[in-house]
């Protein structure tokens, strides 16, 4: 007897276990981050041995030319508990909007912002609870849009890029930081750590079954490196470049919207 073909893969973005369409994928992701929010920062810093702090700082440094302009507006998509938003705010004077669809991640961000001393010239980021695929801002609202470790969780990658292009002003910049696969001698050890040790520690510390197994599978599914660069190009981004962090564990994808004619 022949086994029936499995259901077609209709998700053009992340595909968590059991999610058969984009709405189900988004529900899973939102629930997962709501469940792990209390331990999210601890795990981030522990599992990356604090290197994640350097990555966010380095991303913000790369965009000082935008952040230093008081008239510029910056959107940090999938901002979670706000570490990248704070790094961006520290580097300049431009207002930063932190947006995420998991309420409890934003609650943590709020508490963090309240307890953080920023340089006098910097502004505390403004929170916006929203889905990255349908943002409540008019066209051409931002000069810089960032997204750290959030984009691969979207249920529709091309849709996410379209929404970002809609929100960017002409010549505006996009910076997406995502996990990738290191190459060279680090690769086998890192892969073992990422697929076996990290999910076990994540589950143990959060008490949420499968949360950090999803993390590994979402990275595996994401079109890393040139594959994602081509996706950005197809969406209409220009001047594309990729910066490698820590032997390729994380990659920063940068692109621009079409300049004003
Ligand atoms: C891995 S965390 C990254 C948080 C933060 N940017 C950082 O660097 O730590 C991913 C975040 O993306 C958010 N997220 C995922 N899909 C989203 C969507 N469609 N709309 C808004 N936020 C989303 C999750 O709620 C979560 O807070």
Indicate whether 203 belongs to any domain: no
Dihedral sign computed on CA atoms, order 165, 58, 82, 156: positive
Cα–Cα distance measured from residue 119 to residue 208, given in angstroms and rounded to the nearest whole number:
37
Indicate whether 199 belongs to any domain: no
Indicate whether 103 belongs to any domain: yes
pLDDT of residue 101: 98
Q: Are strands 142-148 and 96-100 parallel, antiparallel or unpaired?
A: unpaired
Write the CATH number for 151.
3.40.50.150
Pocket residue to mutate for ligand 1, from 80, 128, 218, most atoms within 8 A of Cβ? 80
Would the CB of 178 count as within 6 Å of ligand 1?
no
Indicate whether 261 belongs to any domain: no
| Ligand 1 centroid to residue 238 C-alpha, Å | 25
> Are the C-beta atoms of residues 83 and 110 closer than 8 Å to each other?
no
> Are the C-beta atoms of residues 227 and 149 closer than 8 Å to each other?
no
Q: What is the pLDDT of residues 46-77, one digit of tens each?
A: 888 899 999 999 999 999 999 999 999 999 99
Tens digit of pLDDT per residue, the chain (261 long)?
A: 444 444 455 449 999 999 999 999 999 999 999 999 999 998 888 888 899 999 999 999 999 999 999 999 999 999 999 999 999 999 999 999 999 999 999 999 999 999 999 999 999 999 999 999 999 999 999 999 999 999 999 999 999 999 999 999 999 999 999 999 898 888 999 999 989 998 898 888 888 888 889 988 999 999 999 999 999 999 999 999 999 999 999 999 999 999 987
> Are the C-beta atoms of residues 162 and 237 closer than 8 Å to each other?
no
Indicate whether 162 belongs to any domain: yes
pLDDT of residue 205: 86
Indicate whether 9 belongs to any domain: no
Cα–Cα distance measured from residue 248 to residue 240, given in angstroms and rounded to the nearest whole number:
17
Residue nearest to atom 10 of ligand 1 (CA): 150
Would the CB of 128 count as within 6 Å of ligand 1?
no
Would the CB of 79 count as within 6 Å of ligand 1?
yes
> For the chain, how many structural domains are there in total?
1
Q: What is the pLDDT of residues 31-46, one digit of tens each?
A: 999 999 999 998 888 8
Indicate whether 127 belongs to any domain: yes
| Ligand 1 centroid to residue 228 C-alpha, Å | 18
| Ligand 1 centroid to residue 181 C-alpha, Å | 20
- Domain containing 167 equals 22-38+48-181+224-256
pLDDT of residue 208: 84
Indicate whether 186 belongs to any domain: no
């Amino acid at each position: 007897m022949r086994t029936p073909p499995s259901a077609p893969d209709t998700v053009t973005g992340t595909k968590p276990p059991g999610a058969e369409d984009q709405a189900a994928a988004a529900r899973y992701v939102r629930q997962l981050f709501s469940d792990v929010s209390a331990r999210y920062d601890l795990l981030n810093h522990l599992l990356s041995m604090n290197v994640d702090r350097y990555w966010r700082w380095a991303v913000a440094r790369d965009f000082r030319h935008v952040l230093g302009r008081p008239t510029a507006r910056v959107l940090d998509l999938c901002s979670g508990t706000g570490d990248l938003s704070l790094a961006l705010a520290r580097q300049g004077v431009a207002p930063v909007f932190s947006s995420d669809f998991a309420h409890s991640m934003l609650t943590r961000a709020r508490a963090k912002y309240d307890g953080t001393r920023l340089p006098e010239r910097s502004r505390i980021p403004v929170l916006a609870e929203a889905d990255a695929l349908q943002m409540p801002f008019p066209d051409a609202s931002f000069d810089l849009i960032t997204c750290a470790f959030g984009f691969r969780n979207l249920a529709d990658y091309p849709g996410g890029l379209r929404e970002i292009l809609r929100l960017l002003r002409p010549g505006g910049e996009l910076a997406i930081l995502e996990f990738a696969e290191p190459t060279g001698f680090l690769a086998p050890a890192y892969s073992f750590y990422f697929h076996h040790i990290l999910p076990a520690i994540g589950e143990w510390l959060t008490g949420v079954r499968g949360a950090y197994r999803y993390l590994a599978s979402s990275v595996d599914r994401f079109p890393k490196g040139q594959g994602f660069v081509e996706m950005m190009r197809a969406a209409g981004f220009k001047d594309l470049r990729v910066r490698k962090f820590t032997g390729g564990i994380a990659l920063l994808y940068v692109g621009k919207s079409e300049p004003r004619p």
